[in-house]
Amino acid sequence: MALEAAIAELVADFITKGRPSSRHQTFDERRAGYIASTVLAGEIEQRVTVEDRDIAGISLRVFSPLNAEGKLPAVIYYHGGCFVSGGFATHDNQLRQLAFLSGCRVIAVQYRLAPEHTYPAAHDDAERAADLIWQYADELNIERSQITLAGDSAGGHLALITALRLRDANRWLPQRLVLIYPMIDATASSESYKRNGDDYVLTRDTLLSGFEAYFPQTELMHPEVSPLWRDDFLGLPPVHILTAEYDPLCDDGEVLFARMTEQGVNCSAQRYLGVIHGFFQLGGISPTARNAMRDIAAKISSPYPL
């Protein structure tokens, strides 16, 4: 399918500018550019309340539907940004929309970023945040039995590893996982890295430089670097994976679906056509992004895992 019209304009502009590489930017420039891109997310959703919390040193932002009362299902959300950028500022509008459309409390986690903090800093923050949210469920007014772990890109990676760590520790498990074009293979061995790696704004260079910054001294096939190749998915809760047609990571998400299914996980996947990596944050210009938001909201608000 052809690129959506507005996304095609972004791609054409990127190519006209000579396909600038993230490797030629400082990390501060990457972070500022990510924040600047939030204008593409659309009008700010106002039908929610937003509260910043700090629990035992972990920074959280809690998005609740307006006038919500009592305990609600919850989403613990890990932002994207290739492990080097992103945070509350880059995901505020999407998570406002998700809370409003789903009727759930959405709890965003701020984890430490590379290159200042390398592996396992973000992984440990993600796991600790999930445990703290579960422990403080009554104070946060959420249902312990109805917690979804979700994230996009690097955040999808962190959601997956957090669930695997929770399972291995035999503490508690989320009701489901929602992985939005997750970064799960630092070897970049899929065909989609080749066919979609150069032209579509968030490129192979963007993704791999993030892996390199966060995992500078860890083997690429380490199970917490490239979890795509793990053989121990059995025991995870149901998983839903979103992929994008023109994303270097498209094949990775679909291979993950196949591998999880083969290993006995209740898994589903959907490829969104005509869009690129990061499209979930382009709701102001992309009808497909708005559809994906509604799809995810329906998933996480359902009493059934998938």
Contact between 33 and 25 under an 8 Å Cβ cutoff? The reply is yes
149 in any annotated domain: yes
Which pLDDT score is estimated for 185?
98
Residue 42: which region, alpha, beta or left (left: phi > 0; alpha: psi -120 to 50)?
A: left
User: What range defines the domain where residue 205 resides?
Assistant: 5-301
Distance of alpha carbon 64 from alpha carbon 71, whole angstroms = 11
189 in any annotated domain: yes
Burial class (CB in 10 A: 0-12, 13-18, 19+), 219: exposed
Which pLDDT score is estimated for 278?
98
238 in any annotated domain: yes
306 in any annotated domain: no
Which pLDDT score is estimated for 69?
86
Which pLDDT score is estimated for 302?
83
Distance of alpha carbon 218 from alpha carbon 29, whole angstroms = 26
Distance of alpha carbon 26 from alpha carbon 20, whole angstroms = 13
Beta-bridge mates of residue 59 = 54, 110
List the catalytic residues: 153, 247, 277
- Kindly report whether the global pTM for this prediction surpasses the value 0.75: yes
197 in any annotated domain: yes
Which pLDDT score is estimated for 303?
76
- Note down pLDDT in tens along the chain; length 306 residues: 899 999 999 999 999 999 999 999 999 999 999 999 999 999 999 999 999 999 999 999 999 999 888 999 999 999 999 999 999 999 999 999 999 999 999 999 999 999 999 999 999 999 999 999 999 999 999 999 999 999 999 999 999 999 999 999 999 999 999 999 999 999 999 999 999 999 999 999 999 999 999 999 999 999 999 999 999 999 999 999 999 999 999 999 999 999 999 999 999 999 999 999 999 999 999 999 999 999 999 999 987 766
Distances from the Cα of 169 to the Cα of 33, 154, 173, 264, 272, angstroms: 38, 22, 10, 20, 34
9 in any annotated domain: yes
Each residue's pLDDT tens digit, 43-87: 999 999 999 999 999 999 999 999 888 999 999 999 999 999 999
- The total number of structural domains in the chain stands at 1
CATH number at residue 283: 3.40.50.1820
